Structure 1
């Protein structure tokens, strides 16, 4: 491997087989992307020699391995994408508190990871514990290397949608562990990752309550905890998340009242569906004192209702009569012209037109 190579991007090239490249000690690789191929086997251990590596994208391949926890020893690694592979097993955390300290984005959405989410694992994410200001001119993670290559573009999932070919802002803080088999409780320590913009733990088997510590994620824009076994009430403190634009808590075992105020008043029923114990706006069951008391209805004045319905019926009758008269009139025209009685027919048409006009004027004055 050329020691002066900075960027290795072989994504979407239909490559197959195993990754048999040996990454030598002392290389200057900053980006490695083998995304969207058919590569199999294990994540090569020689990646540990890439001490300058900032982005590793092995997503959408067919790698079959356990979680490469040793990648956390790379001191500058900011983006780790292992989504949509055949990786499996628990995500174990060693006693080393210096793992993944610079991580901004971790995407492990797959189908095979399992076990509990250890608090010690998230405790290492030091960079996510700082809120990065996004005001002013946007700053991208790879701007300082723009003299060697353009800003790296990748696919990220945020606010419930996949976004292709987007540059990575320094403010992008994303954890996506969706579509796995993680179980146990959601760690309270996630509330310490105050720089998070997107948190996706959907489609797992997580249980317990939603930790109230999530209220500390003051810049969180997207929270997806759907399709788990989470129970209890929605913490009312979450209503203080003013940047929250996407919320999905559907298909859990949540109960109680939905918090009110700020962005919570804008979320649709789809954010809460599949939780039979939830009530309050926007679901149809009110959150009053009696859970089963139906919402008040406004009495209807029958006289007013009948009066309002008369014009509609009358106008329908008028148009029906007008249509029938038109057909009959055309028939008479044909008969009269064929029998050569134009003078008599002309007088009849004038008289008929006068009657129709008079009736329509009377009807209009009445209503």
Structure 2
């Protein structure tokens, strides 16, 4: 049965609802503001309809929401940054709409998110590096947008294939074969390189420092206790080996 028309606002009175699935119909227009009362919703599927207008921020009033599917509609405007407040969200699907603007970095607050599909929209700009914080993310689809710049590297992003990014001619970096120009490198990369260099220098200094302290301590003990010369030689070899091992691990 193919239902059509606008969503009846009376549905907003069913505050006990935990699941609402009206996918594959012909509903159109905007989502009634009365839906703000559905604060017990855990599952909402409005996929494959003809809803239009901007995605309403009222979804943030659903603190228990785990699944939000708004794919294949006519939604326009930007992705509301307020969606980052849905702390229990596990799946977010907005593919095949007409969404524009950048991907909001606030989505990195969705700590339980396992699947994110923003494909087939008109999103542009860089992929926020903050999305690397999504430790449970198993599925990522950003294909067929207008994204550009370096793909974030590290953590879950190492597990995603070319299919996650196809149709974005401006993207570069792994897993794509397109190499980024120097001016496309993320500033965070340089910050990370600086941190690595500092950590390397700190390790070297710590190694030499520990060796020096141990050496001076033992030499003092040998001097005051009259330990034999062969004891001093053995210790000197051990101390040298310790310093070499520290240097080796930092290379």
TM-score by shorter chain over 0.5: yes
CA offset at residue 92 of structure 1? 3.2
Partner of 1:159: none
1:118 pairs with 2:56: yes
CA offset at residue 286 of structure 1? 1.8
CA offset at residue 288 of structure 1? 5.0
1:78 pairs with 2:18: yes
Partner of 1:15: none
CA offset at residue 262 of structure 1? 0.9
Between the two structures, name the one with larger relative contact order (CA 8 Å, sep ≥ 6): 2
- TM-score of the pair, normalised by structure 1: 0.49
CA offset at residue 203 of structure 1? 0.2
Q: 1:239 to 1:79 in 2, by over 3 A?
A: same
> Could you tell me which of 107, 119, 125 is aligned with 1:214?
107
Superposed, which structure 2 residues align to 1:35-50 within 5 Å? 38=1
Superposed, which structure 2 residues align to 1:60-209 within 5 Å? 62-94=2-34, 97=36, 99-119=37-57, 121-128=58-65, 173-209=66-102
Cα shift readout 1:311-350 (whole Å, capped 9, x = no counterpart): xxxxxxxxxxxxxxxxxxxxxxxxxxxxxxxxxxxxxxxx
Backbone CA RMSD of aligned residues? 1.5
Cα shift readout 1:258-291 (whole Å, capped 9, x = no counterpart): 0011110110000000001100101111235166
Instruction: Judge conservation of contact 1:202–1:226 (CA < 8 Å) in 2.
Output: yes
Measure the CA separation in 2 of the matches of 1:91 and 1:195.
22
Measure the CA separation in 1 of the matches of 2:93 and 2:140.
10
- TM-score of the pair, normalised by structure 2: 0.70
Measure the CA separation in 1 of the matches of 2:152 and 2:162.
13
Residue ranges of structure 2 left out of the alignment (5+ in a row): 185-251
Aligned residues: 184
Residue ranges of structure 1 left out of the alignment (5+ in a row): 1-37, 39-61, 129-172, 292-367
Measure the CA separation in 2 of the matches of 1:260 and 1:284.
14
Relative to total residues, which structure has the larger helix share, 1 or 2?
2
Instruction: Judge conservation of contact 2:144–2:168 (CA < 8 Å) in 1.
Output: yes
